[in-house]
Homo-oligomer: A and B are copies of this chain.
Amino acid sequence: MREVAILGVGQVPVREHWDLSIRQLAVAAGRAAMADAGVTQVDALYVSNMTSGELNQQRHLGALVADHLGLWGTEAVKLEAACGSAGSAMRQGIIAIASGEMDVVLVVGVEKMTETPGKATTAALVTAADADYETPHGVTFVGLNALIMQRYLHEYGYKHSDFAPFPMNAHANGAKNPNAMFQEPISLKTYERGRMIADPINLYDASPIGDGAAALLLVPAEKAPHAVRVAGSASATDTLAIHDREEPLWLKAAEQSAQRAYAQAGIGPADLDLFELHDAFSIMAALSLEACGFAEPGQGVRLAQEGAILPDGRIPICTMGGLKARGHPVGATGLYQLAEATLQLRGDAGAAQIDGARIAMTQNIGGSGATIVTHILRKA
């Protein structure tokens, strides 16, 4: 299998883009990645998205985006794994290059969520959960994560404000990323006074929906000796319904995919310079740190309290705002994470730059941990 390199990066700032359609968002990111890489044709296009059927009355995004990028004839398809869609699309792009089947692959993640009536977005998001055994009870997707957080607080004896370091770090870092939806730091008091969404998840524990698109242009590493390399790529699943798991506080698919990626890259957690994790909710940040080997079970919050997750800490996370401050256009998020990690390894992360970053990990989660995709990138 051939090694894969990331030659181009494109991002649309995450916003409420009421003036841009889903095709315009995707095309803007795809075009930016192609321009960044200096290519005008690709062998295949992988698009990721979750909710365009309901929210934009538009499926068939592979053909749509190929068409409006001017890539007529190009093979194209859409991939979906709930909020883990973009990581999954990246994984297929990597396999396509590694196989020798393709030499130039564009991966575009897009989601347009804000221009919809009433509760359509909430209804679309809960399709990530089990429609027969979870959703019929009336629980929302935030509600499911609230149950997990409640259990964590109970099991390990934390109080709600112990989670403050996660959103405070994310918002402080988002302030340094022009593509972030929220670019202002928040104080401990702001966090503690946050409006309750689904007890114990308050406004600052939940990532915001948004409109956005991010894209990467992939080539074989031998064609791009100075480009950032994919050192590890793995995906794993867990039960869809949380009640089917032996231990609801352990992200088994995070552990499995991270262990495979570590093995491929020949490294361990201590070798990482930064970790773009999936902080859709504060509790998910803690659980990811634990499952990926940075803290013992129940100690992810402690790690954050010790400052290890800050830009100058032992394992900086969400260095450009994470899902919490950059925003979470669900089917694009995994590619924003990869784009940000790539910029960090290039030294192009601006005010958010982690000095001397050489190895980065990204982790994209679909549902409440049912699909987890982990990538490790390294400087050439």
A contact residues vs B (CB 8 Å cutoff): 1, 21, 23, 50-54, 56-60, 62-64, 66-67, 71-82, 88, 91-92, 95-96, 98-101, 123-124, 126-132, 135, 234-241, 244, 252-253, 256, 366-367, 370-371
Residues of B within 8 A of A366 (CB): 60, 63
**Sample of 6 more A-B contacts, CB < 8 Å, known A60-B80, A63-B237, A95-B101:** A59-B80, A60-B129, A62-B80, A64-B130, A76-B81, A92-B92
Closest to A233 in B: B101
In whole angstroms, what is the CA distance A238 to B127 when docked?
A: 30
| Contact yes or no, A53 B54, CB < 8 A | yes
Main secondary structure of the interface of A (DSSP, over half): mixed
Q: How many copies does the complex hold?
A: 2
Provide the bound-state CA to CA distance between A51 and B95, in Å: 26
A78: shortest Cβ distance to chain B, in Å? 5
Complex: how many Å from CA A354 to CA B109? 44
Of B50, B53, B80, the residue contacting A127 (CB under 8 A) is: B53
Which B residues touch A23, using CB under 8 A? 132
Within the assembled complex, what's the spacing in Å between the Cα atoms of A295 and B293?
62
Measured between beta carbons, the chain B residues less than 8 angstroms from A238 are: 63, 67, 72-73
Q: Identify the closest chain B residue to A78 (Cβ).
A: B80
Contact partners of A75 in chain B: CB under 8 A: 91, 234-237
Cβ-defined contact, B100 with A1, below 8 A: yes
Question: How far, in angstroms, from A253 to B74 measured CA to CA in the complex?
Answer: 9
